Structure 1
Amino acid sequence: MFELHQAVASENYDLVLELLQCNKCNVNEKDFKWDCRTPLHWAAARGQTEMVRILIEHGARPCLRNNSGWTPAHFAAESGRLEVLHLLHSLHAPLHKEDCCGDKPVRIAEIYGHKECVNFLKIAEAESMEYRKMAKEKGIKLDDTDEEWEEQKKEVEQNQRKQDQKDDTASVPK
């Protein structure tokens, strides 16, 4: 685990601020040993609302995904972290993204029985989509896409199609 990831996970606000203010780390670095989580994923999962705010103020991107396609909103929804979800929504973070299984944060909250989160996310997702529509119309650029994850997803899908074609060809009688 990288130093900033550790500082966030252990709730060491002083060290986090020191690392961020001195530019000693990449706030969006993905930890490959921990499913490509960023420090923001850790803070959201742990319900560290102020830490989430600090990280985003220092350039953390709430659209970044881990290997499963989870955004910080997915992690907050899994843990029932309603305050974090409120903050992410207020900052126009994407709350509507599907993971690699097609689940949005609202579905994750449903699975884990976090009813308050479910109710909030249903409303927030609709508001978020409306904001995105307005932003597009007005030419406001949103940081909504994890390009690296999207590229990996395309590669996986292409490889799966190739494998499916091979399987279809192999099963055809000669």
Structure 2
Amino acid sequence: MAIADWFGCGDQAKLARAAGHGDYHTVAALLKKGVSANSSTLGYNALYNAAWGNSTRIVEMLLEAGANVNQRAWFGMTPMHIAVGRGNIRVVRLLIAYDAFLNKRDMWGGTPLFLAAERGHEEIVDILIENNAKLNKNDQYGRTAVFIAASYGHLNIVKKFVKAHVDYNRPNKKGESPLMAAAMANELEIVNFLIESDADIDQCNEFGESIVFQAARKGYLEVLHSLLLAGAEVNICSKNGTSPLLAATTQRNKEVVHTLLSFDADPNVCDEHGMSPLLLATLNDEFELVHALINANADTHTSNHLGYFPLYAAAAHGFRDIVELLLTAGADINQVTPMGQSALMRAVDNGYLDVVHTLLEEKADANLCSSTGDTALLFAAFRGHVAMTQYLIIAHAEINHCNEAGMSALSFAAAGGFVEVVHVLLAA
């Protein structure tokens, strides 16, 4: 090919361009003139262009003139790839009649069957299957044609593949199976069909996330319900210890949480950081989720790796309703963190008067000491909280207690210039 043809100026370029434009007479004239049927321009050969242009007559004319039926264009695409992608059944049949390779890969590893599966070309899928296209080939991502069809929601094509005995459990390089792909795409009909076809419902991806996990995290309730009804394991955790229930709690999806609990999801499974669904729901101020988890026997005392437990978290953020709910459920009002801090101390320190009032009414110990010897009263004095100081004194807080640094409540109040607190302490 001459340089002029590459840049679109020579006869070969004219032929390739005319083929793409459907200019039958120009193509015929140039072929008669002796121009090669394998002519190309800018990397695209005449046969490829004719297939792209859906020109069956030109495709046939080029093939009769000796065009290479498997000649590649850019990205490793063959005329068969583009004919399948364009959905031109007549061109596909014609190329097959001229012995086109059905399993040639493009630069991404995809065969023509992949394109048919992606685009939903059912009749072309039938043709390729009838002509013995390889059904279990995978692309550079490890995806098979049935995986592609499941991802794009083409139920009938998935059915054709299953009938043709494809391996519908083969995962891609991320460990995702066709069933997982369908679930992640919220393709309920395909999910149900693959379940009925005995697909592996507990297959996990490279992160250890199950199909139930994926459906729960994405909030696909119907897909999740189908999987659980089929007997999918509800408590498979990812590699970082996250359960489907924790994933759903992270997304604050109440319906999914209720569904998982109704199928006996374990509310006490924690991730690698010790985070439990109950602690997470508490941190997110999700009263309904907290209530549901407590009803499912979630442990109200489980701490994460920082030592935070649900009551401490609720008090620290001023979530009075959740504090009351946890106490009603039997949470230990005097539980402390590894640093010795109680829920009362944290509520005082953060200035949540209503929570402090609730905790004191429920007989929280006002004289518990942290690892540094600080009590709730010392926190109140340090922050200048007058009303809290009064509440704590009424609750019999020790007024003259000093921490390990020798600081008393009066010392903190005086150092901070909190005159009213000083007066309250002196009056006591």
Q: TM-score, normalised by structure 2?
A: 0.28
Q: Give deviations 1:138-159, integer Å, cap 9, x for gaps.
A: xxxxxxxxxxxxxxxxxxxxxx
Shift of 1:102: 0.5
Shift of 1:87: 0.6
Q: Give deviations 1:84-129, integer Å, cap 9, x for gaps.
A: 01111111111110110100000001111101111111222449xx
Matched, 1:106 2:182: no
Shift of 1:46: 1.1
Residue 112 of structure 2 aligns with which residue? Answer: 39
Residue 58 of structure 1 aligns with which residue? Answer: 131
Tell me how far apart the structure 2 counterparts of residues 52 and 109 of structure 1 sit (CA, whole Å).
19
Q: What SS does structure 2 have at the residue aligned with 1:29? A: coil
User: Structure 2: which amino acid aligns with 1:44?
Assistant: A
Tell me how far apart the structure 1 counterparts of residues 90 and 122 of structure 2 sit (CA, whole Å).
15
- Which structure has the highest helix share of the two? 1
Q: Which residues of 2 match residues 1-150 of structure 1 at below 5 A? A: 1-23=77-99, 25-32=100-107, 35-126=108-199
| 1:45–1:76 Cα contact (<8 Å) kept | yes
Tell me how far apart the structure 2 counterparts of residues 97 and 126 of structure 1 sit (CA, whole Å).
10
Give me the identity figure in percent: 31
| 2:179–2:199 Cα contact (<8 Å) kept | no
Larger radius of gyration: 2
State the 4+ residue runs in structure 1 displaced beyond 4 angstroms: none
User: Structure 2: which amino acid aligns with 1:15?
Assistant: V
User: Structure 1: which amino acid aligns with 2:89?
Assistant: Y
* Higher deviation after alignment, 117-126 or 55-64: 117-126
Q: Give deviations 1:18-49, integer Å, cap 9, x for gaps.
A: 010110x21000011xx111000110111111
Shift of 1:76: 0.3
Q: What SS does structure 1 have at the residue aligned with 2:175? A: coil
- Number of aligned residue pairs: give it: 124
Q: TM-score, normalised by structure 1?
A: 0.69
| 1:96–1:125 Cα contact (<8 Å) kept | no
| 1:95–1:125 Cα contact (<8 Å) kept | no
Tell me how far apart the structure 2 counterparts of residues 110 and 77 of structure 1 sit (CA, whole Å).
9
- Consecutive unaligned residues of structure 1, counting only runs of 5 or more, are 128-174
Tell me how far apart the structure 1 counterparts of residues 98 and 163 of structure 2 sit (CA, whole Å).
27
| 2:138–2:145 Cα contact (<8 Å) kept | yes
Q: What SS does structure 2 have at the residue aligned with 1:68? A: coil
| 2:168–2:199 Cα contact (<8 Å) kept | no
User: Structure 1: which amino acid aligns with 2:196?
Assistant: I
Q: Give deviations 1:68-89, integer Å, cap 9, x for gaps.
A: 1110111001110000011111
